[in-house]
Amino acid sequence: MKYVDEFRGTDLAQGLVDRIRRAATRPLTLMEVCGGQTHTILKYGIQALLPETIELLHGPGCPVCVTPVALIDHAVALAREPGVCLTSFGDMLRVPGSATDLLHVKARGGDVRMVYSPLDALRLATEDPKRQVVFFAVGFETTAPSIAAVIERAAALGLGNISFLTAHVLVPPALGAVLDAADNRVQAFLAPGHVCTVMGYRQYEALASRYRVPIVVTGFEPVDLLQGIANGVDLFNAGRGVVDNQYSRSVSRDGNVAAQRAVDRVFEVCDREWRGIGMIPMSGLALRPAYHAFDAGRRFALPPGVTETKNDCIAGEVLRGVRKPHDCAAFGARCTPERPQGAPMVSAEGVCAAYFQYRRTA
């Protein structure tokens, strides 16, 4: 197949559904990690097509959901700085920190710009050398190469008025954290196709072998996901903890080596806090010492940020696949996306995790 509509064909989809129904003779809890895959699952009603023996969970694959409140507070503080232009992808503008979000700062006169690429931030810095431009660098391995390339370009140009507030996170350590949890329910994964296009799937082989769970690298169309689920069921039935590459038209085992080298030149692996989950060792990317001049956290005197505390919000459990959004007693009553209640993590997760997962599964 080579056309998008072929990957949405009803005959192929029905054939895969029939295959899954024949094979899924015992319960299987399967987690897809990427929000793009979740969107397709809900848009096309894939869960409803599956037998009752298969439960789909939606994992921590949304950078909006997992960016900690302290980093949101830092972005808000930077946006309030005189002479600073805070640039960000649009999905971060409404994510609340401990007191407010970037969209409200913009409404009150802050110079907050939604951009479609870090190149837009580079252009702003080049056009106005007197303005300090900060790019809020959020995302998984998918966005890191383009941001690394822009940082290298800024260094080559000798720009002293652009910096980056980095919040990059890595998928494999998060999957390991899910599997290590005492209350883990996940028995197989659909790995994120976009991340694996960049990084390949070598890292997932060690996870599959260590935890004896099938991991299927999957695309984003309905036939992709149904084939990924079917392959996952077959591997689960056979007791094989291996990686299967359903998305072979875009993903290779080694990935995009040039992109990986760009990331390695600019970033180094670090421990990272995940909102609603906590600290996951070696799960983030930080700027290497050679690029510390472009680190917004070092350039500006930022407040320490709010420490996330335990509360009655269950969003962390939602992201780990332990509970469902409708299990939250507060959601829909006193905690809503527009008016999140309680401590900082409640406010953020009310918007990011519990609400988005609810909207996807409602």
- For 278, list phi and psi in degrees, rounded to 5: 110, -165
| pLDDT score of 38 | 86
Alpha carbons 31 and 181: distance in angstroms, whole number: 15
- Residue that has been written with the tokens 């994510």 in this structure: 95
Helix (H) or strand (E) holding 318: helix 315-319
- Residue that has been written with the tokens 């992109």 in this structure: 259
Which residues touch 9 (CB under 8 Å, ≥6 apart)? 223
Dihedral angle over CA of 204, 209, 214, 215, nearest 10: 0
Beta 84-88 vs 112-114: how paired, if at all? parallel
Alpha carbons 171 and 224: distance in angstroms, whole number: 20
Which residues touch 257 (CB under 8 Å, ≥6 apart)? none
Cα dihedral 186, 349, 300, 148 sign: positive
Helix (H) or strand (E) holding 13: helix 10-23
| pLDDT score of 345 | 36
- For 247, list phi and psi in degrees, rounded to 5: -95, 45
| pLDDT score of 318 | 75
Cα dihedral 118, 123, 129, 130 sign: negative
CA nearest neighbour of 64 among 108, 44, 34? 34
| pLDDT score of 41 | 92
Which domains are seen in the chain, by residue range?
27-310 (3.40.50.11740), 315-361 (no CATH)
| pLDDT score of 310 | 52
Beta 267-274 vs 278-287: how paired, if at all? antiparallel
**Residue ranges, the chain, pLDDT below 50:** 341-362
